[in-house]
Structure 1
Amino acid sequence: MHFTGHCLPIKFCSGFLLCFLTWTIVNPPSCQGEIGGGRFLINLFADFAEVLQRIPQSSVKRLVIPVLTRTQNELISNREFGTSNAILLSNNLRDIRFLVYNNHRNPNSFFELDLDKPSTIPSLRYVGGAKVKILIHGYNFEDTDKFPSETKDAYLYTTNHPVIWVDWRTLATPNFLSPHALYPSVADNVPRVGLRVFHLIEFLLQNEIISHPRDVHFVGHSLGAHIAGWAGKLLFQKHGVLVGRITGLDPAGPLFRSLGRNLILDRSDADFVDIVHSSLTGIASPLGHVDFYPNGGQVHPHCLRSLNRTARIGRFISCNHNSAYDYFRTSIVHRNIIACGCNSYQEFRQSCGEICAENAILGEFVSHQARGKYFLDYDLDM
């Protein structure tokens, strides 16, 4: 990786990390979601990794830093499948599971697709042109996380959409015995998982489960948003067609903010790309055809109340980052989450919101003709 910018002293970084470790031990965080529970410390290495990018390469030879600045072909051609290793629970793309949920009477019932064994699955064929919803989680997923399970349930209870859950947890979870990799190694797997998801789209087409890539709607949270973007890029590069829609829920920022649009989720990756921004952990700049910023896209009322109750910053950070999928899940059931087209949240609060000239529905039922940035104030607890 090429390092630019001013150098930060190693002693400063080491001291910062030591102080942070001490604070965390004294104040053990209790969180939920992608940055949750004992995982809070590990997730904070994500932002610490961005500091490391400013250190000269010679000073970090022993640290595992992702190679996301390589070309697309280099990122996906090297070690396509891989093997288990000591850094992550697995590095093998065949350990990614594709779980199909299409029993609307029993949302916990599923069957698994095996991409390496050609088959037809008549039960997945659907009536009425309902698009397949493909849900992709983020870093260090656990069964207690609300996404994608609650979003899957919302679809199955209220729509006729079949849902495919991309379970890549083994490639997204560090081996806690390894002190060197953590988030950066998971981030380095994003293009490779995107390749496997691209294979999923080809599988669905070849087995006539879908008739066209426009029948695909990706919903990805955090790193999952960038995985969806990679799958869309690869499909267009190989077949010259785009998936119908990608929804990015607070696309991951650490190690991705400074990358080119050809390496992160971008509006060119699907016919329609909509983004819900919800925290400083995500990328704040517009990425989609339409970008939504509930409560300004950084801090949310229910998260502030959580901070007041617990006095634990870990819960607050995770709450804001995970709010993106809470807003989206809510939009599946309640279609009236209305946002206003404005240039900024400040403008929205001062004047634009009161005399709004252009509205858009946030989430599942957004108009595909919507363009630009939209803001709203919304309390999930009310």
Structure 2
Amino acid sequence: MKEIEFGPCYLSILEPCSNNSIQFYLYDGNSSKPILLDNHAPILPYDLGSIKFKIIIHGYAQNDLNGFKLIRKAYLKHEDTMVIIVDWSRLSRLPCYPQAAINTKKAGECTAQFLIGMEQNNEGFKAANVHVIGFSLGAHVASFASNAVEKALGEKFSRISGLDPALPFFATARHHWKLDSTDANFVDVIHTNAGVYGKLESCGHLDFYVNNGQYQPACQKAKNENLCSHIMALDYFAESINSRVGFYGYHCDSYFQYVFGWCKNEKSKLIENRIKMGEHCEQNKEGIVFVNTHKKAPYAMG
């Protein structure tokens, strides 16, 4: 079955993953240009050794190779890290949000198929060991991908970082249709536009609500404050990768307790009770965390 077309929009349901609707680009830190990998049987020209793989999945209507430039460059400062960009832009283009939301399932399944192919064709690579970073709709793509890997190989992803997971079409109680804490061994989520473009509910083991989780100080003069705040999740995560200061917040039992001012007690102010957000967050902790930032970069306050 072929993709269903609605003008400029595509609905991808039953067609195979090998039709180039989704492509995968490898960045290794040495080459100036990315390497386009084979969707079905990807073979890497490297001795993988102890290489760490970061899988980055963009959101709705984003340019696949530029939307995560800051995150990609931050990771590639580390010689032991490679980045794979999942380009599903053909299935998530403007003005086709409803179709893009539905296509997250196909994008996730095809990403899983690709990673399984990576494991089969590259000694030293293990699909379950990857760290997947998904922004907006891409966070839900990561969820579907991990579930598909677990179904095929018996192991889900090691970690998923959800950057302001998309709310529209994902306000559902069905856990299998959205990112949640069961989708990886560790799920951390950064909320920057909760209740508008991003989800308000907690989705992971650790959920970080930045600057109240709704509107970001850097976006006060933006033409679209909500969209700007949504995208700021990318900037915060990118800075966290190599930040010497770090993003720290304090724990609260629920978002609503925070709103009513019941969380800012003396115990939460103690340094030893602060929890770090971003790439280096503590994977042995759980809960809801509130983080403040500077208005301009560098955003981390320590």
1:300 and 2:216 matched: yes
1:341 and 2:251 matched: yes
Kept in 2, the 8 Å contact 1:221–1:249? The answer is yes
For residues 202 and 107 of structure 2, the distance between their equivalents in structure 1, rounded to whole angstroms, comes to 24
For residues 238 and 144 of structure 1, the distance between their equivalents in structure 2, rounded to whole angstroms, comes to 29
Kept in 2, the 8 Å contact 1:226–1:251? The answer is yes
Alignment of 1:92-111 (within 5 A): 93=17, 94-102=20-28, 104-106=29-31, 108-111=32-35
Alignment of 1:354-365 (within 5 A): 354-355=269-270, 358-365=273-280
The residue matched to 1:162 in structure 2 has which SS?
strand
Unaligned runs of 5+ in 2: none
Alignment of 1:203-218 (within 5 A): 203-208=117-122, 210-218=124-132
1:271 aligned partner: 185
1:327 aligned partner: 236
1:245 aligned partner: 159
2:170 aligned partner: 256
For residues 379 and 348 of structure 1, the distance between their equivalents in structure 2, rounded to whole angstroms, comes to 21
For residues 210 and 253 of structure 1, the distance between their equivalents in structure 2, rounded to whole angstroms, comes to 37
For residues 322 and 209 of structure 1, the distance between their equivalents in structure 2, rounded to whole angstroms, comes to 36
Kept in 1, the 8 Å contact 2:64–2:87? The answer is no
String of CA shifts for 1:340-374, please: whole Å, max 9, x gaps: 22224334446554246622211111121121111
Kept in 2, the 8 Å contact 1:348–1:375? The answer is no
For residues 131 and 105 of structure 1, the distance between their equivalents in structure 2, rounded to whole angstroms, comes to 15
The residue matched to 1:286 in structure 2 has which SS?
coil
How far the C-alpha of 1:143 sits from its partner, in A, is: 6.4
Kept in 1, the 8 Å contact 2:23–2:39? The answer is no
1:199 aligned partner: 113
String of CA shifts for 1:201-242, please: whole Å, max 9, x gaps: 101110125432332110000000000000011111222211
String of CA shifts for 1:96-120, please: whole Å, max 9, x gaps: 1100001x245x421111123x353
The residue matched to 1:332 in structure 2 has which SS?
helix
Change (3 A) 1:111 1:209: farther
Q: CA RMSD in A?
A: 2.3
For residues 123 and 70 of structure 2, the distance between their equivalents in structure 1, rounded to whole angstroms, comes to 24
Change (3 A) 1:190 1:144: closer
1:115 and 2:32 matched: no
1:377 and 2:301 matched: no
Taking every aligned residue pair, what percent have the same amino acid on both sides? Answer: 30
> Larger C-alpha radius of gyration, 1 or 2?
1
Change (3 A) 1:351 1:322: farther
For residues 249 and 287 of structure 1, the distance between their equivalents in structure 2, rounded to whole angstroms, comes to 11
For residues 73 and 219 of structure 2, the distance between their equivalents in structure 1, rounded to whole angstroms, comes to 23
Change (3 A) 1:184 1:209: farther
1:165 and 2:67 matched: no
1:140 to 61, 72, 88: 61
Alignment of 1:44-59 (within 5 A): none
Higher helix share: 1
Change (3 A) 1:231 1:369: same
1:152 aligned partner: 72
How far the C-alpha of 1:170 sits from its partner, in A, is: 0.8
Unaligned runs of 5+ in 1: 1-78, 177-181
The residue matched to 1:262 in structure 2 has which SS?
helix
2:48 aligned partner: 126
How far the C-alpha of 1:317 sits from its partner, in A, is: 1.2
Higher strand share: 2
How far the C-alpha of 1:294 sits from its partner, in A, is: 1.4
Kept in 2, the 8 Å contact 1:327–1:380? The answer is no
